[in-house]
Amino acid sequence: MNTGKKELSIVIPVYNEEENLPELLRRTCSAGKELQTDFEIILVDDGSFDRSAELIRVAAREFPDRIVGGFLSSNFGQHAAVMAGFEISRGSYVVTMDADLQNPPEELGKLLDALRSGYDVVGSIRQNRRDTFFRRLSSKLVNHMVRKLCRGKTMQDYGCMLRGYARPVVAALLKCPEQGKFIPMLAMAFARKTIEIPVRHAERTRGKSKYGFWKLVALQYDLLTGTSVFPLRLLTIFGFLLAAFGILFGCAVFIFSQLDKDWGAEGIFALFAVQFVFAGMTLAALGLIGEYIGKIHLNARARPQYFIAGTTLEKSGEDAILPKMEQGGRNENSDC
């Protein structure tokens, strides 16, 4: 889509971040300049309903060489927005970060250095994490779960969005058609050399986190069901165990009833044993069928993950979707 070559693309998903955008742009631009390289900042508006899209558009007009806006037609979620940013990006290296300044842009240089020295994926580990106890706990759970689900290379901190990718890894990610992919997990599979480096972390000072309790639970559930058939396998194992217990119970009932003819509560225990065996076998069969369906499901989800209605790089349909802005309006704080 986009041909002007850059060394570094900084991809930032944006959802209702109007309060953070001016400072984000100012700090990211000056951090980028410090790197003394040709860079672009790609802001992907994920269907915001505040003034974010408008601010991005004004900034992109003002600094067309540095700032690129991408506008999704509606709210597709953070990961889809990052994938859209990858598609728009032109850099030999791509770094992702959040728009709320929890990832200080001043840390970009560390990631670029690691990418330049040959690492294909550069993760980061948040030092002095500035999040609530619940968020830290939930991150621990995700990190543990993903490490269990992954074979091969893993990361310590899957939740830190400040991450760098070499172009071939980005190209490989873009070729994956499946929905709901967990970017760092896939990227680790495509990378030959990976590293994680410590970075600073800041509190969100403006706007609200987009991840409440239920969204986090849904995300973890998606991650588990989208990447693994482990829950179905558990059902199968439970079914087989129940059936085995039924058989053992049936044997015990038979032996006791032979030893004492009055024992056995008129065959009720024997009936229980048969019930256990049937219930167990049914669960095991359900789990097995489910596992086949699960595999088909994992392979067949080829719906588009997002739809880019327009970017600031070309004249297209976004004019119809986005709010009109004054010609030549200046972006409040940026200094690119």
Q: Does 98 bind ligand UDP (CB under 6 A)?
A: yes
Q: How far is the CB of 221 from ligand UDP (least distance, A)?
A: 17
Q: Does 13 bind ligand UDP (CB under 6 A)?
A: yes
311 binds, among Mg ion, ligand UDP, none (CB under 5 to 8 A by kind): none
**Please, which of residues 39-68 interact with ligand UDP by CB under 6 A?**
46
CB nearer to ligand UDP: pick between 45 and 120: 45
User: Would you say the C-alpha torsion 53, 59, 65, 67 has a positive or negative sign?
Assistant: negative
Q: Is 113 exposed, middle or buried (0-12, 13-18, 19+ CB in 10 A)?
A: middle
Q: Which of 138, 117, 118 is closest to 129 using CA atoms?
A: 138
280 binds, among Mg ion, ligand UDP, none (CB under 5 to 8 A by kind): none
DSSP summary character for residue 325: -
H/E/C letters for each residue in 37-106? CCEEEEEEECCCCCCHHHHHHHHHHHCCCCEEEEEECCCCCHHHHHHHHHHHCCEEEEEECCCCCCCCHH
Q: Does 134 bind ligand UDP (CB under 6 A)?
A: no
Distance from chain centroid for Cα 22: 25
x/- site string to Mg ion, residues 79 to 108, per CB under 5 A? -------------------x-x-x------
Q: Does 120 bind Mg ion (CB under 5 A)?
A: no
Per CB under 6 A, the list member of 40, 54, 100, 107 interacting with ligand UDP is 100
Q: Does 16 bind Mg ion (CB under 5 A)?
A: no
Q: How far is the CB of 96 from Mg ion (least distance, A)?
A: 13
17 binds, among Mg ion, ligand UDP, none (CB under 5 to 8 A by kind): ligand UDP
Residue labelled with tokens 């079914």? 239
Q: How far apart are CA 10 and CA 94, in angstroms?
A: 6
Residues that bind ligand UDP (CB under 6 A): 13-15, 17, 46, 75, 77-78, 81, 98-100, 102, 204, 209-211
Residues that bind Mg ion (CB under 5 A): 98, 100, 102, 204
